[in-house]
């Protein structure tokens, strides 16, 4: 089963059932605002310890937090719109870590 996203893409209904694009994975482990280079598309984020906040602008301002993934919770979809080249994140908690992988272009 799939659903239509704001990008018009069909992606798996739950992030856990998504098949990532080969070699698209990144480890997120920085505890201060960090911008990583991304391409437009749909990503899945899985927090393995602590939690991670993500957005299209600096995460130093709470108003810019668009997504939150929590360890022990479900993985989440993150839709990066066309024209966007950076995804900002902060990992929160001792030894916090998350994984980001692209599932649809």
**16-75 tens-digit pLDDT:** 556 788 888 899 999 999 999 999 999 999 999 999 999 999 998 899 999 999 999 999
How far, in Å, CA of 89 to CA of 45, rounded?
11
Can you give the pTM of this predicted structure? 0.81
11, pLDDT greater than 80: no
What are the sequence ranges of the domains in the chain?
Answer: 2-104
Strand 10-12 versus strand 26-28 pairing type: unpaired
For residues 52, 105, 83, 33, the Cα torsion angle rounded to the nearest 10 degrees is 20
Cβ pair 51, 27 in contact under 8 A: no
pLDDT recorded at residue 66 = 95
Q: What are phi and psi of 20, to 5 degrees?
A: -70, 155
How far, in Å, CA of 105 to CA of 25, rounded?
14
Statement: 2-104 belongs to CATH 2.60.120:
yes
């Amino acid at each position: 089963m799939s659903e239509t996203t704001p990008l018009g893409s069909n992606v798996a209904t739950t992030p856990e059932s998504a098949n990532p694009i080969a070699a698209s994975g990144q480890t997120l482990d920085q505890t201060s605002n960090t911008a990583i280079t991304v391409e437009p598309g749909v990503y899945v984020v899985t927090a393995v310890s602590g939690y991670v906040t993500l957005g299209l602008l600096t995460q130093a301002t709470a108003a810019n937090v668009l997504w939150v993934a929590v360890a022990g919770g479900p993985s989440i979809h993150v839709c990066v719109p066309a024209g966007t080249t950076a995804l900002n994140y902060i990992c929160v908690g001792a030894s916090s870590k998350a994984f980001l992988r692209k599932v649809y272009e």
